[in-house]
Copies of this chain bind each other. A is one copy, B any other.
């Protein structure tokens, strides 16, 4: 066997081709478009590759073909549970495909995002997943000019770069407030931390709903730029109470804050929901087992990530989805913290998931 190899003994496509008795280019085609080969050569190449344990050199492939099999993902945070769910969806969907995920963290900075975008695009990714719709003008221009499919995730807006999947944070917040109105609450505070664009839109939704009811007051809103945490929820709630002692409900921009508010209520011996109702956002797992169980707005984060990656891969492979913009909606999961005002807030059995009333709304966006 006069098969020649690299000094490192690595198996190249040429070796596979030689063993299979075909030209390198035919062997190459086998890996990219097997249908283009005659059955005879296809099986020959296949068994040769298996026999030699051939693994393609991705760098060479990328260089020669001028494109990579990398999907770039830009998210604002690695810590936030919300994004870890989205990521899990993305990774799950990418598994089994030939694409690999390149993740970068913008740290909630659109300038950082722009920088990373430039870096990513220079490597000609097969596709891109970016968070939100608030890019810099420059980023926007780069995205429009990019010759790869792009999915914007986490929210939906009027002017997609390409594809888009998410829901209306504005509508979701309005729905949460509407639920509190239904429960007879009037003096509803808003607690928010790290006011990224999506949290800002939740605040906008809250404000509009309150104004519609003639109940809005600026002092009902407490926000901070600090990253969110459970502890911070308690602190912000403390501020809110000091400003507005007659508070009868709190809408929290996320579930960590809501949990912090719940603990702070317990500390202060404020009855939930009798004195104060609490509504969170995202419906993390723990909301259903808190005491009392905590109302929240459920968002389909895993599904969002999974669908985004699936749509993207389909688009890369030339099968564009019929719908470029997908609204995943949300659901207000009504639980004890905002409903049973005069009932026992400490039932002896777990109330988790027990006959939760679900209000599903497709979010309408302008």
- Decide if A230 touches B289 in the complex (CB within 8 Å): yes
**Assembled-state Cα–Cα distance A105/B160 (Å):** 31
User: Which of A33-41, A96-104, A213-221, A273-281 forms contacts with chain B?
Assistant: A96-104
Chain B minimum-CB-distance residue to A289: B231
- Decide if A119 touches B230 in the complex (CB within 8 Å): no
Q: Is A183 among interface residues, defined by CB-CB distance under 8 A?
A: no
Q: Is A355 among interface residues, defined by CB-CB distance under 8 A?
A: no
Q: Is A180 among interface residues, defined by CB-CB distance under 8 A?
A: no
0/1 interface trace, chain A 159-198, chain B, CB 8 Å (1 if under): 0111000000000000000000000000000000000000
- Decide if A122 touches B68 in the complex (CB within 8 Å): no
- Decide if A1 touches B119 in the complex (CB within 8 Å): no
Q: Is A222 among interface residues, defined by CB-CB distance under 8 A?
A: no
**Assembled-state Cα–Cα distance A123/B102 (Å):** 15
Q: A55-B118, A347-B267 are in contact. Are A84 and B88 (CB under 8 A)?
A: no
User: Which of A24-32, A57-65, A245-253, A327-335 forms contacts with chain B?
Assistant: A57-65
**Assembled-state Cα–Cα distance A144/B161 (Å):** 47
Q: Is A291 among interface residues, defined by CB-CB distance under 8 A?
A: yes
**Assembled-state Cα–Cα distance A53/B1 (Å):** 44
Distance in angstroms from A153 CB to nearest chain B CB is 16
0/1 interface trace, chain A 44-70, chain B, CB 8 Å (1 if under): 000000000101011110110010100
0/1 interface trace, chain A 242-268, chain B, CB 8 Å (1 if under): 000000000000001001100110111
- Chain A contacts to B: CB under 8 angstroms: 1, 3-6, 8, 53, 55, 57-60, 62-63, 66, 68, 78-79, 81, 84-85, 87-88, 91, 100-105, 118-119, 122-123, 144-149, 160-162, 229-231, 233-234, 256, 259-260, 263-264, 266-269, 285-286, 288-291, 346-350, 352
Chain B minimum-CB-distance residue to A352: B231
The 28 sampled A-B contact pairs (Cβ below 8 Å) are A1-B160, A1-B161, A3-B146, A4-B144, A4-B145, A6-B145, A6-B147, A8-B66, A53-B118, A57-B123, A58-B123, A59-B62, A59-B123, A78-B84, A78-B91, A81-B81, A81-B84, A88-B105, A101-B103, A102-B102, A229-B286, A230-B286, A231-B289, A234-B350, A263-B289, A264-B289, A267-B346, A267-B349
**Assembled-state Cα–Cα distance A91/B79 (Å):** 11
Distance in angstroms from A320 CB to nearest chain B CB is 10
- Decide if B267 touches A119 in the complex (CB within 8 Å): no
Max chain B CB contacts within 10 Å: which of A3, A148, A291, A350?
A: A3
**Assembled-state Cα–Cα distance A67/B87 (Å):** 28
- Contact among B8, B62, B160, B346 for A266, CB-based, below 8 A: B346
Q: A55-B119, A231-B352, A267-B349 are in contact. Are A91 and B63 (CB under 8 A)?
A: no
**Beyond A59-B60, A81-B81, 9 extra complex contacts between A and B, CB < 8 Å:** A3-B146, A3-B148, A4-B147, A55-B123, A59-B59, A63-B63, A100-B102, A267-B346, A268-B348
